[in-house]
Amino acid sequence: MGLLSEGSPLSWQETKKHVDHVKKSGIRQFLSIYRRLKDRQKDHLKWGDEVSATRRKTNDVISPAPRPKIEYTLVHFDHERKTARLYLDGPKYLETLQEEEKRSPDSHPTTWRPEYGSYMLESTPGKPWVFVGDLSEFNDVEPNMKLRREEITKLLEGTNVSCLTVTTFPRIGCPDFTQPIYRPTPQPEADGASRSVFYPDQAIYPGHPRFRTLTRNIRDRRGSKVAMNLPIFRDANTPSPFVETFDDPEANAASLKDHVYLDCMGFGMGCSCLQMTFQACSVDEGKYLYDQLVPICPIVMALSAAAPIYRGYLVDSDCRWNVISGSVDCRTPEERGLKPLSENKFVIPKSRYGSVDCYLASDKYNDVPIQYEPEVLQELIDEGVDELLAKHIAHLFIRDTVSLFSEKIKQDLEKESDHFENIQSTNWQSMRFKPPPPNSDIGWRIEFRVCEVQVTDFENAAYAVFIVLLTRAIMSFGLNFYMPISKVDENMEKAQRRDAARAEKFYFRCQPFPGDFEVKAEDPEFSLMSVDTLINGKDGEFPGLIPLIWRYLDSVHVDAETHCTISRYLCLIERRASGKVLTAAQWMRQFVHSHPKYSRDSVVSDEINYDLMCAFDKIMKGQMGCPELLGKCDDLLERKDAQTS
């Protein structure tokens, strides 16, 4: 979830005193990196280029190949009582999982990190894949994901705990949702980090102070508990109006009628996703690719939707995004526009977890005003940072540090980057632009952050490979997906709606090819398209992202095995987009609706949740086929035949 400094965490009252210092030093640290590394180029390595044999030998890490990061959830099953609960013993396993890295920091297979929940674990490949030019590395993505899962599964042998990839645990925040069971402590005198009426502090990862400190400090800075209200999915027997009352005045005041109320960071940051970091060859390539992926974010989010149930209720949205956004919303009432502004302050329209606010390589479509301190912007520009990047950095730095360790206040401005990272890594945007860390050979990177995690390694590999291939097609054809940021924002909202992948239409640029295509003045620049049109293409409307990828693949050498691997993945994405197979969210809804114990009252009971988690466990392990979610292999072969004939 970001920077993991060690040390003694400071309260918000203490942190507040150092906010300006952290910001000033963070900017200096960024400038120091920028000055040294702005010209870092590996110019023999262009995106999509064939790569020379020397690279294979030197094992150069500069590579467009992906590093899919996966967040896992430990689920405890009680088969007699038919319950599935979040298992809080993650830290114990994490220690064992990290041993290999401690032994060989440079050549361990997997990098394991804690995540927000005690029941969560996060993994990244120990080394990025090296792009050797023939795309054969795509054959390694899924086996590597399996290997990572296996590393945990081995440790769980003989227990009733399973390592699942679920975006949101359906009964998160219900009574007794953890194993062991703890009671939440909302009472102010208990001085808990969350003060949630649903989520006990024991569910927050205890092994690193960052997580609880962030929780407490975000709440303190905001001046109240966070509050997210998701519209309930209305079914035949759902009480109308749907009203909940609590033993807690703040909860009663903040919860809305006909909504499922959530009151702490755990409901958001306790969700899981699949993220991908790419390394660009230069700062400019990084900016271009970042920009092109910004409009892709909502589309992939809708396609990966996997969060239709919260606190044991079917809700009327399919994705986690707004929940996380609300769960770390540290803005004061003034910043939220609820109180008159004091001097030098501005209203900040979004939470620090939110979609990208500005493009980096061209400002033609930056149509939403962004906030920054003019002096910070000027300092960056004076030091030679171009205006767009300077605005982006200055905009990130309107956020205060909300987690600081006393040992880290004093820092070297040239050799360290913690203050910069402190602010950067608590701006959780749909894309992240990452400067090289000091003293490393790592280059300029971008991170694609919206994808909800999928149930199986096959699906996670499919989404990862789809995104990587898309970046290759973008680079290779110089594609242009620019569209107004305001429209991307609208798309982000639509993408989360129930069944968006089938039902919504999204703004997108009609003509993605640069230059030589004649665009007539009367042609619209953007239009509304379904996910199907966007992904699979439609004559006269849009070429389709998958056809573009195939066109790219036709231009490079791909061996038969790799071709087959890629076909399976693209086929899944194609079918999710056309509605022939379901997103996880659609499938979960269907599962609940057809469960004999479901009373059409929106309630996902312990037993339904247990059956759903058992099904996920079996599907993930390949013990249960699920063509509605995954498609069928035979269909894939049919498709291949059709293509070759």
> What minimum distance in Å lies between the beta carbon of 425 and ligand GLU?
8
How long, in residues, is the chain? 645
- Using Cβ positions, the residue closest to ligand GLU within the complex turns out to be 273
How does strand 83-87 pair with strand 178-179?
parallel
Site size toward ligand GLU, by CB under 6 A: 9
CB-nearer residue toward Mg ion: 122 or 617: 122
SS3 at position 517: coil
Q: CB burial class (10 A; 0-12, 13-18, 19+) of residue 643?
A: exposed
Part in contact with ligand GLU (CB under 6 A); list of ranges 184-192, 268-276, 354-362, 407-415: 268-276
Least Cβ distance, residue 163 to Mg ion (angstroms): 15
| Residue of 166, 262, 271, 604 that binds ligand GLU (CB under 6 A) | 271
428 counts as binding ligand GLU under rule CB under 6 A = yes
| Residue 124 beta carbon to ligand GLU: minimum distance, rounded to whole angstroms | 10
| 75 belongs to the binding site for ligand GLU (CB under 6 A) | no
Taking each continuous run of H as one helix and of E as one strand, the counts in the chain are 25, 17
Does residue 258 come out as left (phi exceeding 0), alpha (psi in the -120 to 50 range) or beta?
left
Q: Note whether 129 and 92 are within 8 A (CB).
A: no
Whole-number Å distance between alpha carbons of 122 and 466: 21
Q: Which positions from 30 through 69 interact with ligand GLU, judged by CB under 6 A?
A: none
Out of Mg ion, ligand GLU, none, which partner does residue 504 contact, by CB within 5 to 8 A per kind? Answer: none
CB of 94 to ligand GLU, least distance (A): 15
230 binds, among ligand GLU, Mg ion, none (CB under 5 to 8 A by kind): none
> Residue 272 binds what, of Mg ion, ligand GLU, none (CB under 5 to 8 Å, by partner type)?
ligand GLU
Our CA angle for 2, 8, 9, nearest 5°, is: 55
Taking CB within 5 to 8 Å according to partner kind, which of ligand GLU, Mg ion, none is near residue 211? Answer: none
In terms of CB distance, is 122 or 421 closer to Mg ion? 122
Q: Rounded to the nearest whole angstrom, what is the least distance from the CB of residue 598 to ligand GLU in the complex? A: 27
The separation between the first and the last C-alpha atoms of the chain, rounded to the nearest angstrom, is: 48
Helix ranges restricted to H, 188-263: 209-222, 249-254
DSSP result, 174-207? STT-EES-------GGG--SS--SS--GGGB--S
Question: How far from the centroid of its chain's Cα atoms is residue 114's Cα?
Answer: 16
- Where do the DSSP E strands lie in 217-357? 228-231, 259-262, 274-279, 309-310, 313-314, 353-354
Measured from the CB atom, is 271 or 442 closer to ligand GLU?
271
Question: Is residue 1 near ligand GLU by the rule CB under 6 A?
Answer: yes
- 428 makes contact, choosing from Mg ion, ligand GLU, none, with CB < 5 to 8 Å by partner type, with ligand GLU
322: closest CA among 251, 266, 268? 268
In the complex, the residues that contact Mg ion under the rule CB under 5 A are 1, 122
Which residue number, 1 or 314, has a Cβ lying nearer to ligand GLU?
A: 1
- 135 sits in the region (left: phi over 0; alpha: psi -120 to 50; else beta) called left
- Considering the complex, state which of residue 320 and residue 509 has its C-beta at the smaller distance from ligand GLU: 320
| 116 vs 405 by CB, closer to ligand GLU | 116
Q: How far is the CB of 427 from ligand GLU (least distance, A)?
A: 10
What distances in angstroms separate CA 303 from CA 141, 575, 635, one per listed residue?
Answer: 20, 10, 20
Residue 247 to residue 256: CA distance in whole angstroms: 15
CB 349 within 8 A of CB 239: no
Please, which residue, 453 or 604, has the CB nearer to Mg ion? 453
Min. distance of Cβ 122 from Mg ion in angstroms? 5
H/E element holding 447?
Answer: strand 445-448
Q: Is 582 in the site for ligand GLU (CB under 6 A)?
A: no
Q: Does 318 bind ligand GLU (CB under 6 A)?
A: no
Task: Judge whether 478 and 585 are in contact, CB under 8 Å.
Answer: no
Instruction: Say if residues 294 and 392 touch (Cβ distance below 8 Å).
Output: no
Q: Provide the minimum distance between the beta carbon of 521 and ligand GLU in the complex, in angstroms, as a whole number.
A: 41
Q: Please, what is the minimum distance in Å from the beta carbon of residue 175 to ligand GLU?
A: 24
Q: Is 273 in the site for ligand GLU (CB under 6 A)?
A: yes
Of 207 and 524, which CB lies nearer to Mg ion in the complex structure? 207
State the Cα–Cα distance between residues 413 and 244, nearest whole angstrom.
Answer: 51
Q: Which is nearer to ligand GLU, 173 or 512 (CB)?
A: 173
- To ligand GLU, the closest distance from the beta carbon of 294 in angstroms equals 16
Say if residues 588 and 309 touch (Cβ distance below 8 Å). Answer: yes
CA dihedral 166, 170, 172, 177 (to 10 degrees): -100
C-alpha dihedral (538, 542, 546, 547), degrees to nearest 10: 80
Considering only CA atoms, which of 308, 320, 319 is closest in space to residue 604? 308
List Cβ neighbours of 620 (8 Å cut-off, separation of 6 or more).
162, 164, 165, 455, 456, 457
**Closest to Mg ion by CB, 121 or 592:** 121
Our finding on whether 272 is near ligand GLU (CB under 6 A) is: yes
Q: Choose the contact partner of 273 out of ligand GLU, Mg ion, none; CB within 5 to 8 A by kind.
A: ligand GLU
Query: Least Å distance between CB 72 and ligand GLU?
Result: 11
Residues 6+ apart with CB under 8 A from 148: 70, 109, 110, 123, 125
Among 218, 294, 324, 475, indicate the residue that binds ligand GLU (CB under 6 A).
324
Task: Give yes or no for residue 204 binding ligand GLU (CB under 6 A).
Answer: no
Name which of 273 and 294 has its Cβ closer to ligand GLU: 273
Q: Which of 38, 445 has the CB closer to ligand GLU?
A: 445
Out of ligand GLU, Mg ion, none, what residue 324 binds, judged by CB under 5 to 8 A for its kind, is ligand GLU
| Piece in contact with ligand GLU (CB under 6 A), picked from 174-182, 243-251, 270-278, 530-538 | 270-278
Residue 71 interacts with ligand GLU (CB under 6 A): yes or no: yes
What DSSP character marks residue 77? Answer: E
Enumerate residues 516-555 that contact ligand GLU by CB under 6 A.
Answer: none
**Residue 567 binds ligand GLU (CB under 6 A):** no
Would you say 1 or 294 has its CB closer to Mg ion?
Answer: 1
Instruction: Say which entry of Mg ion, ligand GLU, none residue 271 contacts (CB below 5 to 8 A, set by partner kind).
Output: ligand GLU
Q: How far is the CB of 167 from ligand GLU (least distance, A)?
A: 7
Contacts of 242 (CB under 8 A, 6+ apart): 232, 234, 257, 258, 259, 602
**Min. distance of Cβ 621 from Mg ion in angstroms?**
24
- State the residues that interact with ligand GLU by CB under 6 A: 1, 71, 269, 271-273, 320, 324, 428
